[in-house]
Chain A
Amino acid sequence: MLFLHCQQPRVPSASAPPFRPRVVSVAAPLSVRVTGGRRGRAVVAMASADARLAGIASSIRVIPDFPKPGIMFQDITTLLLDPKAFRDTIDLFVERYKDQGITVVAGVEARGFIFGPPIALAIGAKFVPLRKPKKLPGEVISEEYSLEYGTDKIEMHVGAVQANDRALVVDDLIATGGTLCAAVKLIERVGAKVVECACVIELPELKGRDKLGDRPVFVLVEADA
């Protein structure tokens, strides 16, 4: 099977406002066999993904110096105010994962709760919320992770994920990868397989993929940290 993953050239257009995220990946399925008549359809699928990605990228608002000076905050709330951009975002993830036998979508609190459930519903998977401490009632397992200053923790319900589950971990953005790495470890601890981490936005300068090692990461757009 041929793995098809293409990069858009990362050249900002003259008319684009400054600091916009750049379209990075053409969201082809995880693997596609390009043969004969299917080739035309694959090309059309990629062209359509292109157009959708441009709309998604331009719907994301960048707020300088939030939450503190020097941070360029990638604000997805403007994407959520654009029904077509939000629909396209979910569709691109669903197209990628619907035939991958994903049994659970885990979303990281709180913005992972916005993107994860619609994906889960569309592909018929369970949704598991990964939460800040003391929010989930009953028995939980937790994973600590480092912040710039200090540590934080995320928790998952015991029994939510089983050893034979195939999991997708969803958050709005990957930066340093600390939170995602903690999420992945929780799922792997119960013996399940993390098939991929899926985010709308990546800040590649912060090297989040390094923290995740050989676990795949899929994003729709890249932005400057």
Chain B
Amino acid sequence: MGEVKVIGASLSIICCRIEWALKLKGVQYEYIQEDLRNKSPILLQCNPVHKKVPVLVHNEKPVAESLVILEYIDETWKENPLLPKDPFEKSTARFWARFVDEKFIPSAWAACCAQEHEQEKAVESAQELLGILDKLIEGKKFFGGETIGFLDLVVGSLPNWLKFMEELSGIKLFDAEKFPSFHEWATKFVEIPIIQEHIPMPEDLINYVNTAGLAKTILGSAAMANKK
């Protein structure tokens, strides 16, 4: 089926989506680790518009943007389909993937970096969105139903990321008691071997940030001042 390369960064909560998809479909690939502070010529060539990871290179042709890559992988390697066959259900999966990337993640960032006077409202907004995800997974084994699907891969790294953000900022968004269904799914998901092999762990993220002195850059000075 041709040569497959993934240009990524091992601690990226987005790049792991791609590795999971390829592993679930039994696709062999070469992983190229990118230093995001010193971007390689290959990355700049493969993604000249955004200069970002992840990029999938299949038979020397690059595909960028994680959700686009996931759909490409699903259309090229048909085993263990990620998206539902039914067009309406497919639209629903795409809708929620977009919700996560465009609404939930930015909202969670905003809550963790908020200045004191805006914090309460920002946390409330982010938790409201997390509540929507909690309701979505209620009573289901996976977001994809009986098997891992598109949305599971999109959401998969978020529980660890939220723990990392909590450690970094002192803001707790992911309360297991408030979001029991999401917590249950997260606990089981992270134990799946394929997932476990390629998931950024909160302690690794924290170590990296502390070693590289990036905490202030990530949170901003105001949020650092609020950290207890």
A and B bind: no
Binding site for B on A (CB under 8 A): none
